[in-house]
Chain A
Amino acid sequence: MKLDARIPDGPLAEKWDRRRNELKLVNPANKRKYKIIVVGTGLAGASASASLAELGYQVDTFCYQDSARRAHSIAAQGGINAAKNYPNDGDSIYRLFYDTIKGGDFRAREANVYRLAQISNTIIDQCVAQGVPFAREYSGYLANRSFGGAQVSRTFYARGQTGQQLLLGAYQALMRQVHAKKINLYTRSEMLDLVVIAGEAKGILIRDLITGKITSHAADAVVLATGGYANVYYLSTNAKGCNVTATFRAYRKGALFANPCYTQIHPTCIPVSGDYQSKLTLMSESLRNDGRIWVPKQKADKRAPQDIPEAERDYFLERKYPSFGNLAPRDIASRSAKEVCDDGRGVGEGGFGVYLDFADAAKRLGKPAIAERYGNLFHMYEKITGENPYARPMRIYPAPHYTMGGLWVDYHLMSNIPGLFVIGEANFSDHGANRLGASALMQGLADGYFILPYTLGDYLAQTKPGLYKTGHEEFKKSETAVSSQTRRFIEMRGKRTVDDFHRELGKLMWDLCGMSRSDKSLREALQRLPKIREEFYRNLKVLGTGEELNQSLEKAGRVADFFDFAELLCHDALHRSESCGGHFRIESQTPDGEAQRDDKQFSYVAAWQHTQPGQMPLLHKEPLTFENIKLVQRSYK
């Protein structure tokens, strides 16, 4: 298979404009004849649905939540980047482009990232027009802050709820179209299969989560905006419902899955407190600006932190990275914390945590200054842990947070299956091997508001509307397959619950394919995964029936896909023997323990093709060429 990314010719800055001029258009009178399915109502899905409906297409939008407003984009805290240069600090489209490419450790396409930076400004305009209450200066103009180690202030924010406000803006635009009857919105509806007819994506299968009814939906194009797969680790900062099912089932139908091994671990999360833990809560990274990270020097030291004298503490980041210290990048900080905990020096229940201590900062700056900077975070921490961070150092631990990998798409955001478009976190396109802070929101909205509405039109202009109906045999085949899977789960009547299996899967993935991976750990994972999966299909216990609201059954389907997907992730991680961004291979590091890229061998996108269940997937490579920037090695010494 030849992967054609369809990147336009010409200078970087002109590529998108050129392409827009070439794209075919659908006659306004014909637009209403085309039906588009959008799955997911996060930033990407909601903005795409609304924009497409505004253009005049018929849109059917689906989400598993009870309301479109609850998609997990809502939980993004920090902000959204744009190259507005409002603070006059020298920012530009090129700088945002460069920072994003470099932050992604040179594993993303130049053309895609440049387009993202170009569009970033328009997104802010659009959101303000929709009524997103961004933070303002007293002048009434928009406020910016610096974020994620960027040297310019380019992040727009709405308190700590930027994702929520952007999503509500897109959700409201979506609701307006629902009211205008241009969008049929299906909530509590989970996509269980993609229907491909004559090589093109022409519909999906949906399970109504209330009645359990499985229905077919035909369309002229399908858009997946179903988010990331961090829940393969069971514990992550993702919502409980986030899953890989939609993208994975598209993968089974022939869509390529790109770079699944690029996962991002966030260093400052609240640690696990027990086996019952259901998810992890992220706290802003800004805490590391003033907090000092340490563990006891002695193993299994059970003393209270204040009883451990200075000489018996190991400020391991300051020790290992004297110039960056506690501000070392996310992946380095995360890995170092894991190392000391694996060494038996972790703190808190279970020993998976390190201290983040504000005592020195409080002495230096005074408690009021600390309260002003971090008061809300301290409050949140206290609410969750019941400990007062002013009196006792916080405990933090890294947690899976975002996944850069996703379905392979070309410059048009179309997968290798014509008619299947993938946007937002669900695709692989813009973040390379690592995503910068405040860039996820930017990408989701760029895809949904300003890229897909153009490129999807180009595809539709070249297809006839309403080619296939749900009576087509491909739909019938899918219905049979999906129903039989449901029956299989129900009839198994084994002994172990879905959550139990998911926890086991998550722990395995975290231990063997988490923050740092090695040839040995990945081979072990690939050896153990089929065994657990085999037990899953033998010993799973799901009560009730398929014809009702059955939350265990929903989870069973998702976890089943996570099992298969986990293998794909491990295959990808195993084959990429370099370290880059969020993918750290122990074998590939600099003498100082930094990630060592191997540009000669691995400067490509790894796009995997499904073969047979249980068989090795087929690797396709899309070479990455860099015409405008020079590749450099990161250093934080």
Chain B
Amino acid sequence: MKLKLRIWRQKNAQSQGRFETYTAENVNPHMSFLEMLDVVNEDLLGKGIDPIAFDHDCREGICGACSLMINGEAHGPGRGVTACQLHMRVFKEGDEITVEPWRARPFPVVRDLVVDRSSFDRIIQAGGYISASTGGVPDANAIPIGKPFADKAMDAAACIGCGACVAACPNASAMLFVAAKVSHLALLPQGRIEAKPRVSAMIQSMDNEGFGNCTNHFECEAACPKEINADFIARMNREYLQTKICPEVS
């Protein structure tokens, strides 16, 4: 296959970026999207052009490093996949593919397609944990957790922190990411203890980072490679309102 690529190139955070057009020759349908970029990069290196920088690591859809806006969709076409799990067989000979970095103020471009997602880490720092220090905890079976709760918590905990939800949201909102962590912990009895301060602190941190607001487009849910449900956002909103109305022990 031969494809035309329109790729965002930007030297560093300070410089202006622009789109460059490249041709990808000999694309094998079994390649992953990132492998296709590898091949393009080898080709660019051969021509003396700086290779395209992009984040990637595990290449099996779990580390959350890859972060490409492919043809206007976060992680490209197809539900429930990251860019590293997207295979070239979904494209056709001669297709034109636009590749852009995640776009959001809290995700500044570092170089080419690489963005800085440390804002996500700071949101977790604000309260995305249970304050259990090492040692001195009870036996694991001393805290029974109903299977439906454990399962639902796991659904939320599956988040890989890639930022596709933000990238896909028309408002660049991080609600799904935050809601997933808030819900994961709040659904478990050991996490209930800090649920109220946690939801306040994490939402405050999210707002401080400059993410947009949720206006319920549900694009996040559609883009999420782990198909995390947007009802966690409703869950978080409920938790947040309860906390605002009754912040103290009730």
Task: State if A and B touch, Cβ cutoff 8 Å.
Answer: yes
A-side interface residues toward B, CB under 8 Å? 47, 50-51, 54, 65-70, 72, 74-75, 84, 86, 124-131, 133-142, 158-159, 161, 164-165, 168, 171-173, 175-176, 178-179, 185, 187, 210, 237, 239-241, 273-274, 276-279, 281-282, 349, 383-386, 449-450, 453, 497, 499-500, 541, 543-544, 548-549, 551-552
Looking at the complex, which of B69-77, B183-191, B210-218, B235-243 is the stretch in contact with chain A? Answer: B183-191
Residues in B whose Cβ lies below 8 Å from that of A282: 60
Task: Tell me if B134 and A70 are in contact (CB < 8 A).
Answer: no
A-B pairs with beta carbons under 8 A, tally? 218
A185 CA to B185 CA, complexed, in Å: 24
A422 to chain B, nearest CB (A): 19
User: Taking A187-B118, A552-B45 as contacts, is the C-beta distance between A125 and B138 under 8 angstroms?
Assistant: yes
A273 CA to B188 CA, complexed, in Å: 43
With A136-B151, A176-B129, A276-B38 already in contact, 13 other A-B pairs whose C-beta atoms are closer than 8 Å: A67-B120, A69-B64, A74-B63, A75-B58, A125-B137, A126-B132, A131-B129, A158-B154, A158-B157, A210-B111, A273-B31, A544-B50, A551-B51
Task: Tell me if B121 and A175 are in contact (CB < 8 A).
Answer: yes
Contact with A along B157-171 (1 / 0, CB 8 A): 110110000000000
Whether a CB of chain A sits under 8 angstroms from the CB of B4 is no
Residues in B whose Cβ lies below 8 Å from that of A552: 45, 51
B-side interface residues toward A, CB under 8 Å? 11-12, 28-32, 34-36, 38-39, 42, 45-46, 48-51, 53, 55-60, 62-65, 81, 85, 87, 89, 110-111, 114, 116-118, 120-121, 124-126, 128-135, 137-141, 143-147, 150-151, 153-154, 157-158, 160-161, 184-185, 188, 190-191
Residues in B whose Cβ lies below 8 Å from that of A171: 124
Please, which residue of chain A has its CB at the minimum distance from the CB of B34?
A278
Task: Tell me if A133 and B153 are in contact (CB < 8 A).
Answer: yes
Task: Tell me if A130 and B38 are in contact (CB < 8 A).
Answer: no
Instruction: Report 15 cross-chain contacts, Cβ distance below 8 Å, ordered by A residue.
Output: A54-B134, A65-B65, A66-B55, A70-B161, A72-B63, A129-B132, A135-B150, A136-B145, A159-B154, A164-B158, A178-B121, A179-B126, A241-B57, A544-B50, A551-B51
Task: Tell me if A164 and B62 are in contact (CB < 8 A).
Answer: yes
Q: Specify which of B30, B116, B132, B146 is in contact with A140 (CB 8 Å cutoff).
A: B146
Residues in A whose Cβ lies below 8 Å from that of B30: 273-274, 349, 385-386
User: Taking A70-B65, A137-B147, A140-B144 as contacts, is the C-beta distance between A549 and B114 under 8 angstroms?
Assistant: yes
Q: Specify which of A66, A136, A168, A453 is in contact with B146 (CB 8 Å cutoff).
A: A136
Residues in B whose Cβ lies below 8 Å from that of A68: 121
Task: Tell me if B31 and A276 are in contact (CB < 8 A).
Answer: yes
A149 to chain B, nearest CB (A): 24
Please, which residue of chain B has its CB at the minimum distance from the CB of A76?
B62
Q: Specify which of B110, B131, B145, B184 is in contact with A176 (CB 8 Å cutoff).
A: B131
Task: Tell me if A133 and B184 are in contact (CB < 8 A).
Answer: yes
Please, which residue of chain A has its CB at the minimum distance from the CB of B44?
A543
Residues in A whose Cβ lies below 8 Å from that of B11: 548
A125 CA to B142 CA, complexed, in Å: 9
A317 CA to B123 CA, complexed, in Å: 52
A350 to chain B, nearest CB (A): 11
B199 to chain A, nearest CB (A): 15
Task: Tell me if B150 and A133 are in contact (CB < 8 A).
Answer: yes
Task: Tell me if A84 and B63 are in contact (CB < 8 A).
Answer: no
Residues in A whose Cβ lies below 8 Å from that of B60: 75, 237, 279, 281-282
Q: Which 5 A-B pairs have the closest CB atoms?
A: A140-B144, A172-B129, A129-B137, A179-B125, A133-B154
User: Taking A75-B63, A131-B184 as contacts, is the C-beta distance between A383 and B81 under 8 angstroms?
Assistant: yes
Please, which residue of chain B has its CB at the minimum distance from the CB of A545?
B50
Task: Tell me if B190 and A141 are in contact (CB < 8 A).
Answer: no
Residues in B whose Cβ lies below 8 Å from that of A449: 134
A548 to chain B, nearest CB (A): 6
Task: Tell me if B130 and A131 are in contact (CB < 8 A).
Answer: yes
Task: Tell me if B42 and A72 are in contact (CB < 8 A).
Answer: no
Q: Specify which of B12, B125, B132, B140 is in contact with A178 (CB 8 Å cutoff).
A: B125
Task: Tell me if B130 and A172 are in contact (CB < 8 A).
Answer: yes
Residues in A whose Cβ lies below 8 Å from that of B146: 136, 140
A541 CA to B143 CA, complexed, in Å: 57
Task: Tell me if A276 and B35 are in contact (CB < 8 A).
Answer: yes
Residues in B whose Cβ lies below 8 Å from that of A74: 58, 62-63, 160
